[in-house]
Amino acid sequence: MSPRFGFDVLAHDPDTAARRGRLTTPHGLIETPAFMPVGTAATVKAMTSEELVSLGFGMILSNTYHLALRPGEGVIARLGGLHRFMNWQGAILTDSGGFQVLSLSERRRITEDGVIFRSHLDGSRLEMTPERSMAIQQALGSDIVMAFDDCPPLPAERERIVAAVDRTTRWARRCREAFRPDDGRALFGIVQGGDDLELRARSVQEIVGLGFDGHAIGGVSVGESAARSRAAVAATAPLLPADRPRYLMGMGTPADLVEMVALGCDLFDCVLPTRNARNGCLFTGTGRILIKQHQYIEDPRPVDESCGCPVCRTCSRAYLRHLYMAGEILSMRLNTLHNLHHYATLMAAARQAIAQGRYAAFVTGFRARQAPVAPGIAAD
C-alpha cells in the first residue's frame, strides 16, 4: 500500500463478521463501515459539498465513463483535478466504467482489448480499455481507483459469467500494470462471478493474487433476487483478505447495509437514497414512506419523529408532500438531505454498535423496527 493509503481494523463484533475500521486516504480518514453518496457527474444531485460534510460524509463516488464524456478528464485535470473542480475536500472513489458495460449494454461492444461505447449524449465513440480507464482516473485525481471489469447481467448463461470472470482477471492484470500510485492513490480490484459461488471463489483467488490495495464485490444486485445477491456476498466476503478494505458495489437499501456489514463489508455506494428522494420515497427508522400519498396531505408530523436532520426539525409531511406534488425544486433538495442524513446516521450507529460488541443485537433491533411493506412499495 502507498504510505498515504492504509486500512486498520479497530474492532471486531464477537457474534458477527462485522468490523470497525479506519481508512487512510490522501484526503482524510474514513471511519468504516461507511456509505459513499454517488456523485456520478461531479455532483451528488441536489446537494452542495458543504451539506455533505455537515452530514458526516468523508468520501463520495464519481464515474469515469460519464466524466470522460462530459466535460472530459482533460478539462478537469487542467482545472486542478476533480476535488478542486467540484469543491470537495474529502476522498473520492471513481468507478472505472465497468458498470456501464452492464447499464449501457445496448450502446456498447465488448472486445478483448476493452469496450467500445456509443455515447448516450451524442452517439460519439468512446473506447474504454483498462489502460484508458487508469489514465482517466489518474487525470481526475481519484483517491481510490477501481480496476476496469466486465460486469454481466443476471440471470445469465454460465458461459457468459465464466467469460466475464476470465476477462475481468485479464483486464485487472492490465490495470495493475498501467496504474501509477502517484500522491498516495490506491487501486482496488473487483471480484465477479454472478450468483455462481464456485466462480466467485475462483475470481477471489485470481484478483487477490494480483496484489490490490483493496477489493470490491461486484456484479451483485444486477437482476438476481435479493436472496441470491446476499448469498453471493455471504460466500465472497470471508474469502477476501482481512487486512484490506472490502467494498460492496451498488447494493444499498438500509436493510442491505445493516445485513452486509454483519458479513464483513466495509464500504458501500448506491444511488438509492438520492434517486428515491427525487421520486418522493423517504427512509425512516421504521421503513419507507411515499410522500405523495394522500394520507399525508394534512399530516403535521415530521418524516421521522426520531430523526434530527434539518428537514425533520423544520418541515411537516404535509409541506413535503405539497412541494413534491407541485414539482418544486426544493422538494428534491429536502428529500435528498433527509435520506442522506438517514444513511449517515445508520452507518454511525452501526460503527458504534460494533465498537461496543453488540452488533448482533443492533441487527435484531433494526429488523424488529421495520414495518410491513405497504402495497405498491417494493420490499428491501
CB 299 within 8 A of CB 63: no
CB 27 within 8 A of CB 83: yes
CB 202 within 8 A of CB 193: yes
Instruction: Quote the CA–CA distance of 258 and 333 in Å, as a whole number.
Output: 25
Q: What are phi and psi of 379, to 5 degrees?
A: -70, 150
The cell for 331 is 422538494
Instruction: Quote the CA–CA distance of 26 and 37 in Å, as a whole number.
Output: 19
Could you tell me the end-to-end alpha-carbon distance of the chain, in angstroms, rounded to an integer? 36
User: Which among 95, 149, 150, 380 is annotated as catalytic?
Assistant: 95
Looking at 152-285, list the stretches that DSSP marks H as alpha helix, in order from N- to C-terminal side.
158-178, 197-208, 226-236, 254-262, 272-278
Instruction: Quote the CA–CA distance of 359 and 370 in Å, as a whole number.
Output: 17
Looking at 122-196, list the stretches that DSSP marks H as alpha helix, in order from N- to C-terminal side.
130-140, 158-178
Instruction: Quote the CA–CA distance of 212 and 202 in Å, as a whole number.
Output: 16
Is 95 noted as a catalytic residue in this protein? yes
The cell for 326 is 407541485
User: Which among 195, 196, 269, 304 is annotated as catalytic?
Assistant: 269
Residues 6+ apart with CB under 8 A from 168: 147, 149, 150, 190, 192, 203, 207
Is 149 noted as a catalytic residue in this protein? no
Residues 6+ apart with CB under 8 A from 341: 55, 307, 309, 310, 311
Query: Catalytic residue numbers?
Result: 95, 269
